Structure 1
């Protein structure tokens, strides 16, 4: 039911758009298990979590780009920006979450990995 509400703003989600379906299959069968694995690694405080967070965040950013770039290139024919709710809440706000959260995850993981390398380098110099 939630898909149909969002489909009022982006018509591709209301039908059988092959681009959307392809990306969602990748999300379900790859990103979903990787997200569970990352959660498991975080719970165990395993340092591999940082690497897998970057992998997952990159997949999310790529998926968002591949969802919207083709639409932008054809002039947004499937996007309804005619009212405030569709344009600014559904299309901008909710989709920006899928940009800013993965970017934060990449930044956080980068800092974690860079710190680990700095510690390793300082130990080699002693």
Structure 2
């Protein structure tokens, strides 16, 4: 299942973007795009963008709709595969399979795109590039080759991404390695998100330097809300895996005690 999902996820994002941009009223006029090295919508205004910034040509409605439709397509595809592959899977496990396929797709494709194009990100004009430039209004570090963000996203994309697909498969086949791997990935996601929040917040607290535009919906909507999923869901996954491993340890300890008695 992980292999099947990884083959279609990227095409889901791209296909949804192409579909929506054909809706009347949302045509993209790329010929009007012009590079501007001094005028950008990011904060703080004095940030250095080495290669210059190219403004988005895709409307916010199209960008968000593309992302939402791609997410829906990934989840629908995953549930369809599960229905045929493992119809008896429990509801909690079904939800977690959906989560790990979704988060693996975000990590490997969307965040992997950022890592691969980090040098030229401010000038990227495809769907993924413009999604990142929209998000950068809440965190301009993504446009300035900021070391922490680049390292954190590299680990997330190329470690937690593939491992998330692996966990989804482990859940389906009831692998004994599921919970140790789930604990590892969820802890990595949680820890990375805490550092991501913390570095930005402390920069603002100690140096009065904010990377988010002054409109609060960028900060609370993009920066806080969107990333909060990778705080609460991994925390629950860690608790689940911890409980499962403790139960197995107690069972083994009881068995060993009876054997030596």
Could you state the TM-score of these two structures normalised by the residue count of structure 1?
0.86
Counterparts of 1:39-58 in structure 2, within 5 Å, are 39-58=168-187
Are 1:2 and 2:131 matched, yes or no?
yes
CA displacement at 1:81 relative to structure 2: 6.0
Q: Which of these residues, 70, 75, 85, is aligned with residue 199 of structure 2?
A: 70
Whole-angstrom distance in 2 between the partners of 1:27 and 1:20: 10
Question: 2:126 maps to what in 1?
Answer: none
Whole-angstrom distance in 1 between the partners of 2:213 and 2:144: 19
CA displacement at 1:65 relative to structure 2: 2.4
Could you state the TM-score of these two structures normalised by the residue count of structure 2?
0.45
Q: Which runs of 5 or more structure 1 residues have no equivalent in the other structure?
A: none
Whole-angstrom distance in 1 between the partners of 2:178 and 2:213: 38
Question: What SS does structure 1 have at the residue aligned with 2:200?
Answer: helix
Larger Rg: 2
Higher relative contact order (CA 8 A, sep 6+): 1
- Total equivalences in the alignment: 126
Q: Which runs of 5 or more structure 2 residues have no equivalent in the other structure?
A: 1-129
**Structure with more helix by fraction:** 1
CA displacement at 1:99 relative to structure 2: 0.5
Q: Which of these residues, 118, 122, 126, is aligned with residue 254 of structure 2?
A: 122
CA displacement at 1:68 relative to structure 2: 2.6
Q: Which of these residues, 146, 158, 161, is aligned with residue 17 of structure 1?
A: 146
Maintained 8 Å contact 2:133/2:143: yes
Whole-angstrom distance in 2 between the partners of 1:115 and 1:49: 14
CA displacement at 1:61 relative to structure 2: 1.7
CA-based RMSD of the aligned residues comes to: 1.8
Question: 2:224 maps to what in 1?
Answer: 92
Maintained 8 Å contact 1:53/1:109: yes
